[in-house]
Chain A
Amino acid sequence: MAEVPTSVLVGDPADTGIEARSQWRLLLRRFLAHRLAVGAAVVILLAYLFSYAAEPITGWGYKDLSPDLSHGPSADHWFGTDTIGHDMFAQSMRGLRVSVHVSLVVAGIATVLGSILGAVQGWFRGRVDGALSLLVDFLLILPLLPVLMVLGTRTRASGGSSLMFVAVVIGLFLWAPLARVVRGEVFSIREKEYVEAAEALGASNTRIIFRHLIPNAMSSIIVYATLTVATAILLETALAFLGFGIQPPEVSLGSLVDEGRDAARTRWWLFYLPGSVLVVLVLCVNFVGDGLRDALDPRRETRR
């Protein structure tokens, strides 16, 4: 076959002078139109960056002990200090960073597992789908917190390396909702002409799943990944609150709330301030998720 320049076949974008609008750019624009979601994304990003800048600015690290014991919020200690002199602002910022890291690992694991297994279910159907569906149904109704508490008894015995362990364990249990959604999407994507074309050209199953099915289900995947981040933060802090999650000396917002709750009446800052950081964080993640859902779902355009 003679060499034909591709520009002749598809038209060179440079010729027309119009830049092609990629899917991602379109998406970004629709997301940016959602003010609350953009604001929330900025808050999360700034708070995360600030968790690194906090120590140089305030002069207190999360392990430092100040001679001021049980002091209320002041210019020196923005969130006050606890009974042994920890700076609560430094501790809260550390907890925020831990929550962000854990939830990103969780969302990463859950998203990869959920997308691949969901696509496999939708593509192969039949017995593979049946077996995986049983597992998904089981995971969906499983009372997660008690199960994670049982597995979390291990973090009590081991010290130190609890962060990754907690993140991986939570991640392995959170992929089911996404798998169910991707499966449903793939059932409709697989009937499209381009999938048929790819199959006719002899593309392998792996290629079809990773190049055609998963990219076209990406909008649901992104929305569910955001939801998973919020769920992961709530689970991680709940585990730490109960004592089965991240262990000291590492800090979790959950354990800060646990330590502060008995002092809620006398030293309100120990309880209300770390808790507020946690609520604002989860709230912002949910706002971002909501904005993404609006930006990615064409059906919603008319509604909102």
Chain B
Amino acid sequence: MLGYATRKLLISIPVLLFATLVVFLLVATVDPIAEQRVFLLSQPGGFEQVERLEASLGLDKPLIERYGRWLGDLFTGDMGTSTDNGRAVTTLLGEAVPVTLRLVVAATVVSVIFGVAVGVGSAIRQYGAFDNISTFFAFLFFAMPVFWLGAVLKDLGIRFNDWWGRRIFFTIGEQSPRLDADFWGTWADRAGHIILPALTLILIQLAATSRFQRSAMLDVLESDYIRTARAKGVPRRRIITHHALRNALLPVVSFTGLTFGTLIGGTVVTEVVFNWKGMGRLFLESLLNGDVAVTQGWLLAVGISVIIVNLLTDLTYGFLDPRVRDG
């Protein structure tokens, strides 16, 4: 197990370096002064001004030199500063990450637990009433764009508040502005704000996870060793809990890692819909402002989180499956 873990950890290092290169090249496709350029070039003497602007941002240097400098700064923990508000990228990320992390963790934990339960429940009575109902909803939410589902839930929440006469669901922001409460009061307020955005992500993740778990469970239930267990008279309940479920849970571990990237995309959209001041907003604004340092820092932070999540799923998989661990 230790050898397997070390091997996986060592592989992550070149992957991480490769990710920095991809992030850098990707952002190099963004022209941070696109709008000024169009404006300045239409003016007399604009060309010289554009050149001066490029020099001040270091855009006149060759790509490889810019990459080297950026990478060197990264190793010293310096991700640059925002050209929009002059604050350090690390500070901006430090503020945004915890907000988004709440949403991502809540959505992942709930959708995995319910997804496994629903998938297993559907599989053990295939084409029963529960299976058909869950299949229907899985298809429905699988077809829903995150941005539409989020906006629908937001609208329904507002309508519910009007009907109830009191604000039950918070639909804007990640917590109340100018909130003056103790520790528990703050978290209660945050919990009220997280319900609808988390529900948006949960419903969509749940649709995919439950279908995946269902087919994993069906595959296991059809396998030879289950037939053997049944033939030698093991009770059905014990077959499901001891023989089938343990093996059917394995694929969901890697599935969670594989869909993490999609979840990040969904989170960006959800934050935009519910006006959260998290990673989604930070990214959107950096792109709209041509704030290259923030875009780079953001992509790198997300890239690292994707690598870490996949490393964790690999390790969990290895821990649970002796074939992978020793093979």
| Set A142, A154, A241: member contacting B269, Cβ < 8 A | A241
Mark the stretch among A49-57, A211-219, A277-285 that contacts chain B: A277-285
**CB proximity to A under 8 Å, residues B118-172:** 126, 139-140, 142-148, 151-152, 154-155, 158-159
Known contacts A265-B155, A271-B151: A146-B283 contact under CB 8 Å: yes
- Residue A42 at the B interface, CB < 8 A? no
| Set B140, B151, B261, B268: member contacting A141, Cβ < 8 A | B261
> Size range of the interface on B?
35 or more
Known contacts A142-B261, A143-B302, A150-B29: A275-B148 contact under CB 8 Å: yes
Contact A257 B151 (CB under 8 A): yes
Known contacts A257-B151, A264-B151: A150-B287 contact under CB 8 Å: yes
- In the complex the two chains form, what is the Cα distance from A138 to B306 in whole Å? 11
| Set A146, A283, A285: member contacting B140, Cβ < 8 A | A283
**CB proximity to B under 8 Å, residues A240-295:** 241-244, 254, 257-258, 261, 264-265, 271-272, 275, 278-279, 282-283, 285-287
- Residue B260 at the A interface, CB < 8 A? yes
Q: Which residues of chain B come closer than 8 Å to A264, judged between CB atoms?
A: 151-152, 154-155
Contact B147 A257 (CB under 8 A): yes
Determine chain B's interface SS by DSSP, over half rule. helix
- Residue A151 at the B interface, CB < 8 A? yes
- Residue A234 at the B interface, CB < 8 A? yes
Contact A143 B140 (CB under 8 A): no
Q: Which residues of chain B come closer than 8 Å to A287, judged between CB atoms?
A: 139
**CB proximity to B under 8 Å, residues A144-172:** 144-147, 149-151, 153-154, 157
- Residue A237 at the B interface, CB < 8 A? yes
B292 → chain A closest CB, angstroms? 10
Determine chain A's interface SS by DSSP, over half rule. helix
Contact A254 B147 (CB under 8 A): yes
Q: Which residues of chain A come closer than 8 Å to B152, judged between CB atoms?
A: 264, 272, 275
Known contacts A150-B27, A265-B158: A242-B269 contact under CB 8 Å: yes
B121 → chain A closest CB, angstroms? 18
Contact B262 A144 (CB under 8 A): yes
Contact A261 B310 (CB under 8 A): no
Q: Which residues of chain B come closer than 8 Å to A47, judged between CB atoms?
A: none
- In the complex the two chains form, what is the Cα distance from A272 to B139 in whole Å? 19
A143 → chain B closest CB, angstroms? 4
- Residue A140 at the B interface, CB < 8 A? yes
- Residue A225 at the B interface, CB < 8 A? no
Further 13 A-B residue pairs, CB within 8 A, beyond A141-B306, A230-B143, A286-B143: A142-B261, A143-B264, A149-B284, A153-B30, A153-B34, A157-B34, A238-B269, A243-B288, A257-B151, A261-B151, A265-B155, A271-B155, A279-B148
Of the A-B pairs whose beta carbons lie under 8 Å apart in the complex, a sample of 29, sorted by A's number, is A141-B261, A141-B306, A142-B261, A143-B262, A143-B265, A146-B265, A146-B298, A146-B299, A147-B299, A150-B27, A150-B30, A150-B287, A150-B295, A157-B34, A230-B143, A238-B145, A242-B269, A243-B288, A254-B147, A257-B148, A265-B159, A275-B148, A278-B148, A279-B144, A279-B148, A282-B144, A285-B143, A286-B139, A303-B218
